[in-house]
Amino acid sequence: MADTDATAGAPGPEDATRTSQGSAPAVAGSVERPIARVLPLLEPVHLDRDFDYRVPPEMDALAQPGVRVRVRFSGRLIDGFVLERLARSEHTGKIVSLDRVVSGERVLTPEILRLVEAVAARYAGTRADVLRLAIPPRHARTEAEEPKPVELPEIPESFPDWERYAHAGSFLAALRAGRGPRAAWQALPGEDWARRLAELAAVVVAGGRSAVLLVPDQRDLDRVLTACTDLVGDAAVGLAAGLGPTARYRRWLAALRGSARVVVGTRSTVFAPARELGLIAIWDDGDDTYAEPRAPYPHAREVAMLRAHETGAAFLAGGFARTAEIQAVVESGWAHDLLAERSTVRQAMPRISAPGDTDTAMERDPIARAVRIPATAFAAARRALAAGDPVLVQVPRRGYIPALACAKCRTPARCRHCNGPLALPDSASGGQGPRTGSRELGIAAVRTASGETAHSPSCRWCGITEAAFRCGSCGSRALRAVVIGAMRTAEELGRAFPGVPIRGSGGSSVLTSVPEGPQVVVSTIGAEPTVPGGYGVALLLDGWALLGRADLRAAEDALRRWMSAAALVRSNGQVLVMAEPSIPTVQALVRWDPVGHAHVELSGRTEVRFPPAVRFVAVDGTTDTIAELLGDARLPAEVEVLGPVPLPFGARKPFSGDTPAEVERMILRVDRSQGAALSRALLAAQAVRSSHRSDGPLRVQIDPVDIG
Q: What element of type H or E holds 623?
A: helix 623-632
Residue 375 backbone class (left: φ over 0; alpha: ψ -120 to 50; beta: rest) = alpha
Q: How far apart are the first and last CA of the chain?
A: 43
Measured in whole angstroms, the distance separating CA 502 from the mean position of its chain's CA atoms is 31
- List all residues 6 or more positions away from 626 whose beta carbon is below 8 Å from its beta carbon: 619, 644, 664, 666, 698
Report the C-alpha gap between 393 and 416 in whole angstroms: 35
Report the C-alpha gap between 382 and 390 in whole angstroms: 10
- List all residues 6 or more positions away from 648 whose beta carbon is below 8 Å from its beta carbon: none
Report the C-alpha gap between 126 and 16 in whole angstroms: 18
Report the C-alpha gap between 435 and 47 in whole angstroms: 64
Report the C-alpha gap between 464 and 449 in whole angstroms: 21
Report the C-alpha gap between 477 and 446 in whole angstroms: 13
Phi, psi of 417 (to 5 degrees): -90, -45
- The CA-based diameter of the chain, rounded to the nearest angstrom, is 95
Burial 334-369 (b: 16+ CB within 10 A, else e): ebbebbbeeeebeebbbebbbbbbeeebeeebeebb
- Where does 387-445 have alpha helices with state H? none
DSSP-assigned beta bridge partners for residue 319:
186
CB 71 within 8 A of CB 97: no
Report the C-alpha gap between 406 and 472 in whole angstroms: 9
Report the C-alpha gap between 177 and 175 in whole angstroms: 5
Report the C-alpha gap between 394 and 561 in whole angstroms: 9
- List all residues 6 or more positions away from 194 whose beta carbon is below 8 Å from its beta carbon: 220, 223, 224, 226, 227
Q: How many CB atoms lie within 10 A of CB 82?
A: 24
Measured in whole angstroms, the distance separating CA 641 from the mean position of its chain's CA atoms is 27
Concatenate the DSSP letters of all residues of 664-692 into one string.
EEEEEEEEGGGHHHHHHHHHHHHHHHHHT
Looking only at the bridges linking them, the beta strands covering 614-621 and 664-671 are antiparallel
Report the C-alpha gap between 587 and 327 in whole angstroms: 19
CA distances, 699 to each of 620, 624, 635, 682, 695 (Å): 5, 13, 17, 11, 11
Q: What angle do CA 238, 243, 244 make, to 5 degrees?
A: 140
Q: What element of type H or E holds 352?
A: strand 351-353
CB 239 within 8 A of CB 264: yes
CB 23 within 8 A of CB 86: no
Q: What angle do CA 541, 542, 544 make, to 5 degrees?
A: 140
Report whether 409 belongs to an annotated binding site. yes
**Amino acid identity, position 105:** E
Report the C-alpha gap between 280 and 21 in whole angstroms: 45
Phi, psi of 235 (to 5 degrees): -75, -5
Closest to 349 in 3D by CA, of 594, 150, 95, 2 = 594
Report the C-alpha gap between 312 and 562 in whole angstroms: 34
Report whether 228 belongs to an annotated binding site. no
Could you list the residues known to form a binding site, using ranges: 406, 409, 415, 418, 459, 462, 471, 474
Which amino acids are annotated as binding site for Zn(2+), given as ranges? 406, 409, 415, 418, 459, 462, 471, 474
